[in-house]
Amino acid sequence: MNALLYIFTLYILECVGLRDLQIHVPVAIPSGSTLQMNCTYDLENTALYSIKWYLRDQEFYRFVPKESPPTRVFAFPGITVDVQESDRNKVTIRNAQRILTGFYKCEVSADAPLFHTGIKTKLTYVTDEPSSPPTLHSNKMKYSAGDVINVSCITGESYPAVNVSWFLNNQTAKTVELVSITTYSEKREAELLITKSYLIFRIDRLSFPTGRIRVRCEISQFDLYRSSSEIELIDNAPPKLAEVIEPTPPPRSTGNAPRLRDWTSIITSFTMAALTFIVHAELLLV
């Protein structure tokens, strides 16, 4: 009987404890800002024994309700914990720098008798935005049909590397035929990176009937940073001459009435004859 009671008690205890553990960490934050992370959980009426926070498996913050004080901070290069803004659910780090990029782990343990423990991990980036907008350069600014255009887009130093998108006349370059894109990053001092991307395509006037091609390189870093640069390529073909249109002749008269200019001639002749008659009459009277 006692054995059955013991087994039943263990079953009940196994059905309660830590549930629904979730870690809430931003995907990315800019360097120098505040990093606040949360752990939510349901202990189902069991007391909290401890909550611990790790970066790359190294503990830097602990909360134990039964201890006094309940919070403990462990030395970690670059981490400054704001104890006033940290508790059993959250931890706050001030002035976060790039070196704090990594996997953060929240470990929650329920109290006796089972000490159920749950762990959740999530990656976050502390970013340095590019030091300058992207720079564009083309192997030629004027083109002819069949030419191969090579445009480079080079970014300023950043961490991590930026994403690069290309556009031709506001159309995503990847959807244009005969387009090749190559992108890679180079490491510089202090783990910073520059990104180089090359857009290569063959000119087809059917694809660019206006004679002008706007090439745009757009870079982004999560939802924290976005910038772009643009150049315009011009068709090198000679301009077409305007078509000469012959003037339309005036309509021909279809009736018996004389044209307007014939009436004008008649009136003019009549007027001159009348003036001549008057002049002669005045001379005879004299």
Rounded distance between C-alpha atoms, residue 90 and residue 71, angstroms: 12
- N-terminal to C-terminal alpha carbon distance within the chain: 168
Do the domain assignments include residue 272? no
Q: Are residues 116 and 150 in the same domain?
A: no
Q: Among 30-34, 207-211, 231-235, 238-242, which is the least confidently predicted range? A: 238-242
Q: What is the predicted pLDDT for the residue at 265?
A: 58
pLDDT of residue 152: 98
206 and 119 in one domain? Answer: no
The average confidence (pLDDT) of the chain is 84
pLDDT at 275 over 60: no
Residues of 113-139 as b/e, b for ≥16 C-beta within 10 angstroms? eeebebebeeebbbbbbbeeebebebe
Task: Please indicate, yes or no, whether residues 192 and 213 belong to a single structural domain of this protein.
Answer: yes
Can you give the residue range of the structural domain that contains 71? 16-127
Task: Find the CATH number of the domain harbouring 140.
Answer: 2.60.40.10
Please give the tally of structural domains in the chain.
2
How large a percentage of the chain has pLDDT more than 90? 63
Q: What pLDDT does residue 191 have?
A: 87
pLDDT given for residue 280 in this prediction: 45
Mean pLDDT across the stretch 47-59? 95
| 118 and 173 together in one domain | no
110 and 155 belong to one structural domain: no
More confident residue, 189 or 127: 127
Residues 115 and 23 in one domain: yes
CB distance 169 to 136 below 8 Å: no
Is residue 52 within 8 A of residue 62, CB to CB? The reply is yes
What does the pLDDT read at residue 210? 86
